[in-house]
C-alpha cells in the first residue's frame, strides 16, 4: 500500500522514527497535498451558492486542477522514497582504490540527479497549487477564506522544503548544465511562489479583518 494511503498516525510514526524514508521530501509532498486539499474544500463550499454563480465555472476548473495536484503530490510521497533508496546504497560503496573512488563518484552523481527530480517536481506542483490558492482567495466563499490562507501556507512550506531537498543532493553533482538549469528553475519557483503565497496570505488576512 502506498504511504499516502496509510493512516496519518502510521505516516507520522514512521516519519518520526529512524527509518530512512519517508523523510523531508515525503513530508513536503504530503504537506503540499494537505494544503491543496484545503483550497479544494473552499471551492466545494463555493460551488452551488447563488452568491458565487458568476464564478462557478471557474471554481470548478480550479477544483479539477487542484484534484490533479493532490494526486500528483500523494504519488510523490512514495516516489521520493524510491529515488532515495539507490542513493543511500551508493553512500556505502567502497573507495579504497582510485578506481573505486571514481566509480563511487559516478554512481553518486547519477543517483543524486535522480534524487533531485522528485523534490523539484514537488516544487513545481506546489507552485501550481499556490497559483490556484491565489485565485481561490479572490473568488472563493468568504465563509471559508481562512482555509485558503492555511492551504497556501502549507504549500509555501512544501515549496521551500522541496528546495532544501534539491540542495542537499546538488553537492555530488558535477554536471554543469544540470546544475545551472536546476538551480535557475529552483530559484525562480521559490522567488515567484513565495511572493504569490505571501500576497495571498495578506489578502486572506485583510478579508478576515
pLDDT at residue 5, as a whole number = 74
Quote the cell numbers at residue 116. Answer: 533531485
Expressed as residue numbers, the domain containing 32 is 21-208
pLDDT at 84: 86
The low-confidence residues of the chain, meaning pLDDT below 70, are 1, 4
**Count of the separate structural domains present in the chain:** 1
Which residue in this structure is represented by grid cell 535522480? 114
Task: Please indicate, yes or no, if residue 172 is contained in any of the structural domains.
Answer: yes
Domain membership of residue 188 (yes or no) is: yes
Q: Is residue 9 part of a domain?
A: no
Of 103, 85, 83, the closest CA to residue 93 belongs to: 103
* DSSP annotation string for the chain: --GGGS-HHHHHHHHHSS-SSS-HHHHHHHHHHHHHHHHHHHHHHHTT-GGGGGGHHHHHHHHHHHHHHHHHHHHHHHHHHHHHHHHHHHTTS--SSHHHHHHHHHHHHHHHHHHHHHHHHHHHHHHHHHHHHHHHHHHS-GGGHHHHHHHHHHHHHHHHHHHHHHHHHHTT---HHHHHHHHHHHHHHHHHHHHHHHHHHHHHHHHH-
Give a yes or no: residue 15 inside a domain: no
Alpha-carbon separation of residue 135 from 138, 140, 156, 189, 203 (angstroms) = 5, 8, 15, 18, 11
Cβ pair 20, 68 in contact under 8 A: no
Domain of 41: which CATH number? 1.20.120.680
- Per-residue pLDDT tens digits for 78-115: 999 899 888 888 888 999 898 999 999 999 999 999 99
Indicate whether 7 belongs to any domain.
Answer: no
Amino acid at each position: 500500500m502506498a504511504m499516502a494511503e496509510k493512516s496519518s498516525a502510521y505516516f507520522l510514526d514512521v516519519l518520526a522514527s529512524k527509518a530512512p524514508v519517508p523523510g523531508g521530501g515525503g513530508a513536503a509532498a504530503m504537506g503540499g497535498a494537505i494544503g491543496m486539499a484545503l483550497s479544494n474544500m473552499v471551492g466545494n463550499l463555493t460551488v452551488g451558492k447563488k452568491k458565487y454563480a458568476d464564478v462557478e465555472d471557474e471554481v470548478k476548473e480550479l477544483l479539477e486542477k487542484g484534484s490533479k495536484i493532490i494526486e500528483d503530490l500523494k504519488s510523490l510521497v512514495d516516489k521520493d522514497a524510491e529515488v532515495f533508496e539507490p542513493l543511500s546504497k551508493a553512500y556505502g560503496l567502497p573507495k579504497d582504490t582510485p578506481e573505486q573512488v571514481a566509480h563511487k563518484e559516478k554512481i553518486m552523481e547519477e543517483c543524486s540527479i535522480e534524487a533531485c527530480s522528485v523534490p523539484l517536481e514537488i516544487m513545481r506542483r506546489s507552485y501550481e497549487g499556490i497559483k490556484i490558492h491565489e485565485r481561490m482567495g479572490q473568488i472563493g466563499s468568504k465563509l471559508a477564506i481562512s482555509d485558503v490562507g492555511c492551504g497556501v501556507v502549507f504549500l509555501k512550506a512544501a515549496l521551500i522544503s522541496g528546495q532544501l531537498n534539491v540542495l542537499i543532493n546538488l553537492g555530488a553533482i558535477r554536471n554543469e548544465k544540470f546544475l545551472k538549469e536546476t538551480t535557475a528553475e529552483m530559484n525562480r519557483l521559490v522567488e515567484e511562489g513565495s511572493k504569490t503565497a505571501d500576497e495571498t496570505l495578506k489578502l486572506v488576512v485583510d478579508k478576515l479583518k
